[in-house]
Chains A and B, each alone.
Chain A
Amino acid sequence: MTEAVFFYLFATLMLSAAVLVVRHRQPMYSVLSLLVVMFCLACLFIMLNAYFVAALQILLYAGAVLVLFLFVIMLLNLAPEALARMRLFTLRTAGTLAAASLCVLLFRIIETPGGEPPLSLVRAPNGSVESIGAELFSRYLLPFELTSFLILAAIIGAVTLAKQEKR
């Protein structure tokens, strides 16, 4: 019962904040709405027994990625995005495409055969730091090491791209 209350609370808060991200004209308000989305998502992760991933979501995603966005937005000093002078054709196409994909997704999700058991009756995985660490360093060791290469490439790319030209 309380699980349902919290689920609906966080889900509606998250979806309305996501709509605000898309609709705000000021870039700063969009980023701050995305921050609300990240926090609601972390709360949903905790409800799903993913404690380590919830902490990482707040630390990495909200605490690093969004801060990077904020820095760049404040550096570039963006003006509020002009109201879309979009042709009606483009807006209609975008809306139709999004509605069609949503319908396909929902149809595929809801037509799953057999009733799904309530999650409170399913055995919860142990989402603590120790168990994820054990998995990460045994079965997923190769992707873990390759991620370090990925991060190295991202660092080199970002530094090279954003370097000021020597006049």
Chain B
Amino acid sequence: MITLTHYLVVSALLFCIGLIGIMTRRNILMILLCIEIMFNAANLAFIAYARAWSNLDGQIVAFFIITVAAAEVTVGLAIAILLARQLKTLNADEVSLLKW
């Protein structure tokens, strides 16, 4: 009764919720959080396909996605801390020193 399509639709909805979050939030930490939502949506799609094709490849890729996301969050949060220290702001609109 529950087919692959159900899981893919849920994954697509989750992805678009994360997309809306990235576009509407201005705090850098919240943008990183919404990127995590998109990662999880992709993970769900991979695991659903692994189940539908009786394969383990999707689960291995999901494993790597989790690892890469953890590494990326580490560096992203370090950059956010640096921003908060130097520019005293976490608003993405105000980080515009490179603009000419």
Chain A residues in the interface with B (C-beta under 8 A): 1, 3-4, 7, 11, 14-15, 18-19, 21-22, 27, 30-31, 34, 37-38, 41, 44-45, 48-50, 52-53, 56-57, 60-61, 64-65, 68-69, 72-73, 75-76, 78, 81, 84, 86, 91, 93-95, 97-99, 101-102, 105-106, 109-110, 112, 115-120, 122-127, 131-132, 135-136, 140, 143, 147, 150-151, 153-155, 157-158, 161-162
Contacts and interface: CB of A to CB of B under 8 A. Distances in A.
Contact of B71 (A14, A75, A154): A154
A52 B59 contact: yes
Interface of B: 1-10, 12-21, 23-27, 29-30, 32-34, 36-37, 40, 43-44, 47-48, 50-52, 54-57, 59-60, 62-64, 66-75, 77-82, 84, 90
A41 B40 contact: yes
B81 A97 contact: no
25 contacts: A11-B6, A18-B37, A21-B34, A22-B34, A30-B33, A41-B43, A48-B48, A48-B50, A48-B51, A50-B47, A50-B62, A53-B62, A60-B66, A65-B69, A76-B80, A81-B26, A106-B9, A106-B12, A123-B54, A127-B50, A135-B60, A136-B60, A150-B68, A154-B72, A157-B75
A97 B23 contact: yes
A76 B60 CA distance: 35
A49 B34 CA distance: 26
A95 B44 contact: no
Given A48-B50, A68-B73, A118-B1, 20 more contacts: A11-B10, A14-B14, A22-B17, A37-B37, A38-B40, A60-B66, A60-B67, A60-B70, A61-B69, A97-B23, A98-B23, A101-B19, A109-B12, A116-B5, A117-B3, A127-B59, A136-B63, A154-B75, A157-B75, A161-B79
